[in-house]
Structure 1
Amino acid sequence: MLSKLRILSVAVVALSMTETILAQVTVTPSFDLVCGDYPDICDNHCNAFYCHDITSRLHYDATSDVGTADQRRTAIGCGSGNYCPSGTDCDEFPYASTYDGGLGCFPDGYDGGDQLVQSGTTRCADPTQNSRHGNALGQFYTSAGLNNGDPFIDATVNDSPLCKAIDNGGFPDLTKCPDESSGDYRFRTTPATPTCPARGSKRGLFRGMQFERNVSDKPLRIVMATTSSNRTMRYILRGEEEGPVVGGPVWTADANGNTIRSTIVKVHD
């Protein structure tokens, strides 16, 4: 009997550990964009999410250096001599600090199972706002304890001036998307660089090849959630990508990089 009890005890402990591990794997942290601190950046995200169906789920590249980040910026059209006028910065989404950055180019070291984003948007932005957002994003990576290849979600653009114009009571009015033939906004699916190694790579096994299926081929879905700090979060996801779950962590970083952790208390149907 004692032997059986020991076996049962071990089994219960193993089950508990398995549940803990599963919880760690399946709950994706969220980065709460504070649009009052950097509205230009939020508008770029809004254009990506609503006007071009680009997923807000990205994969952190902990191994990225300045060279790789610059290559990704060049691939998406934000390299040196870009289209933005003097006195402005070229802001890119997805970020150059993610494996999805640069339209999925240069993903050496990526070992995740999801296909990388292969499209992106850019916007000419106020340099101070761009710096504030970059600082907040860096603090989020640290505070959330992201490891190489970990997924995270840019969770809300509710306060974006562009999204306020597009929202139309919860039914996006895409006629209000920005004109990308001139001005601040651009959208790109073809890399602006002669070499784009491993675009769309999975686990480094198909380096140099392209997948026929793009993340953007899957239907868009919008999921709303409320946090313990009474923030309303809006998640823009593709297909069956994991969205918010009750208890999931949300990190809000202000212009000075101060981070506040909250949790999701309700997911709205």
Structure 2
Amino acid sequence: MKHFHYLTSILGLAHSTYAAMLTLDCTTFPESCNNDCYGIFSAGLPSSLTWDMPTTAVEKQRRRGSGCTNTNSYSVCSSTKGVAPWNQDGPSCDEYPYASTSQGGMAGASLRCMSQSDNSKEGRFLQKNLYNVPIANGGCGNAPPCQFTVMFDMNTLGNSPLCMNTPAANDGHEFKLVTKGNYANAKRDGDSDDFYAPHLPVNGTFPMHLRREFVLSNGKHVMLGSTDLEVDIIDTIVATSSGSAHIVQELFGHQKSKPLRPQVGSAHRFMA
């Protein structure tokens, strides 16, 4: 019995430090956040990611696997060597899940072309505010493997409509690799000439009013980047760009920010 209690205490400790959490400030990388939100809430991609400190070679391999790097070894978003029409949105390919995680390079990754600045700023944000942050402050402590989930600072999502507006069809800028060298919109397009490749579940099956909103000890309101309706994260330490904070409250119903409040008739149309 003594050994059993010792084992359970160790397991409990492991559970309490199992996953890191990071609040994304999307002010300077709104398109990257758009892609994150589409991948999590519309494409059904993993929300729990594992940073494994990959080598440059591994990251390159993952970008090829996700489709960001095409078979011609150029970025799919290259203005001259990329794939139309998506390469018109910017020269840098962003993928979700991130290439810095073990889930990177998976089939069906969400891809979005954008500016180099937007894409690289999210990567630097992850490195500075999560991967290199001490575990005691909610980060990974520069010690892989590190499982983590992101949250979104709701005050910074004004230019990321796929995060905060009522879910609708793909805005036309989300796409994915279908087969080697072949890409398609990340939704079923109405044009019969297009290559059909809908994401499952279809866009919009995780409605706005089910997205979870929390208040941090620093006063910020954040949206959980996950479709998990059961996980209890109250008192969890969260890494942010201004230091660590902890989750003090979950908001429900009309306590939530306006975009996440239940709408008339929504409770019957979408059930958790």
TM-score range relative to shorter protein? 0.5 to 0.7
Contact 1:78 1:90 in 2 (8 A): yes
CA 1:166–1:96 in 2, change beyond 3 Å: closer, same or farther? closer
TM-score, normalisation: structure 1: 0.65
Contact 1:237 1:243 in 2 (8 A): no
TM-superposed deviation, 1:166: 6.5
TM-score, normalisation: structure 2: 0.64
CA 1:165–1:66 in 2, change beyond 3 Å: closer, same or farther? closer
Q: Does structure 1 residue 247 correspond to structure 2 residue 235?
A: yes
> What is the root-mean-square deviation of aligned Cα atoms in Å?
3.4
CA 1:90–1:231 in 2, change beyond 3 Å: closer, same or farther? same
From 223, 230, 237, give the equivalent of 1:234.
223
TM-superposed deviation, 1:265: 0.8
Give the AA of the match of 2:167.
D
**Distance of 1:166 and 1:21 partners within structure 2:** 32
Q: Does structure 1 residue 262 correspond to structure 2 residue 225?
A: no
Contact 1:51 1:174 in 2 (8 A): no
Percent of residue pairs bearing the same amino acid type = 21
TM-superposed deviation, 1:66: 0.8
TM-superposed deviation, 1:126: 1.5
The 3-state SS of whatever aligns with 2:16 is helix
**Distance of 2:20 and 2:153 partners within structure 1:** 16
**Distance of 1:75 and 1:264 partners within structure 2:** 36
Aligned to 2:16: 23
Contact 1:55 1:216 in 2 (8 A): no
TM-superposed deviation, 1:191: 6.3
**Distance of 2:102 and 2:145 partners within structure 1:** 8
Aligned to 2:94: 91
**Distance of 2:163 and 2:245 partners within structure 1:** 28
Contact 1:166 1:174 in 2 (8 A): no
**Distance of 1:92 and 1:121 partners within structure 2:** 6
TM-superposed deviation, 1:13: 7.8
Gaps of 5+ in 1: 1-6, 104-117, 194-214, 254-258
Gaps of 5+ in 2: 80-89, 134-138, 182-199, 253-272
CA 1:65–1:55 in 2, change beyond 3 Å: closer, same or farther? same
